[in-house]
Amino acid sequence: MNYGEQMLKAMESRDGIEPPRGKYNVEVVEASAFTYQKDGEEREAAATVLKITDGELAGENFRHFMGLSHPVGKEISANTLAAYGINWTAIPSFDDLKVAMNALVGRTAEVTVSYKDGYMNVAVHGSRNAPGTPDKDIPSDMEKPEKPAASFASAAGSDESVPF
């Protein structure tokens, strides 16, 4: 058994549940991007471990696996990663995604779990930083401009008037 297969086996054997279909409020307790071998081919993937934060299953964990090797899976996963809070358009390489995934730990999200053809599907409807943690991408000490520009031309640094 190769290393990637060992990783997958370890992931599958971890404590966790396959929650029933439905909507859940969750917290991201683990997040990673990794490669694994399947059918002799190296594949890229990302995964989160989600802890259900309320309701009958509060405290239970489940894994959200996202395949990144197939074009359709990559498109679906890109949208999902954006919903989790990853700005994937600013990530130049897979190694950078591995680093960026760490920032998801502690975020909360609303998800819907469904099943099709025996596979669990997780739809992420949005996420936010952990309660009490300010958003990292919005500075809280922004300075307000002293005085707005009198015209577009002056804001652009030109004294010429606009001909329309």
Q: What is the pLDDT of residue 144?
A: 47
Residue 14 above 60 pLDDT? Answer: no
d(C-alpha 6, C-alpha 124), whole Å:
28
Mean pLDDT of the chain: 83
d(C-alpha 86, C-alpha 130), whole Å:
15
Q: To the nearest whole percent, how much of the chain has pLDDT over 90?
A: 65
Q: What is the pLDDT of residue 99?
A: 96
Residue 81 above 70 pLDDT? Answer: yes
HEC profile of 57-113: CCCCEEEEEEECCCHHHHHHHHHHHHHHCCCHHHCCCHHHHHHHHHHHCCCEEEEEE
Sign of the alpha-carbon torsion through 15, 21, 25, 27: positive
Residue 154 above 70 pLDDT? Answer: no
Which of 23-27, 103-107, 138-142, 148-152 shows the lowest mean pLDDT across its residues?
Answer: 138-142
Cross-strand pairs, 44: 35
Sign of the alpha-carbon torsion through 99, 105, 107, 110: positive
If one counts every other C-beta atom within 10 angstroms of the C-beta of residue 16, the result is 15
**Please, which residues have CB within 8 angstroms of residue 161's CB and are 6 or more apart in sequence?**
151, 153
The residue with greater pLDDT, 97 or 1, is 97
Question: Which amino acid is located at 14 in the chain?
Answer: R
Domains of the chain as residue ranges with CATH: 3-131 (2.40.50)
Q: DSSP state, 9?
A: H
d(C-alpha 24, C-alpha 21), whole Å:
9
Strands 108-116 and 61-67 come out as: unpaired
Mean per-residue pLDDT, 60-65: 96
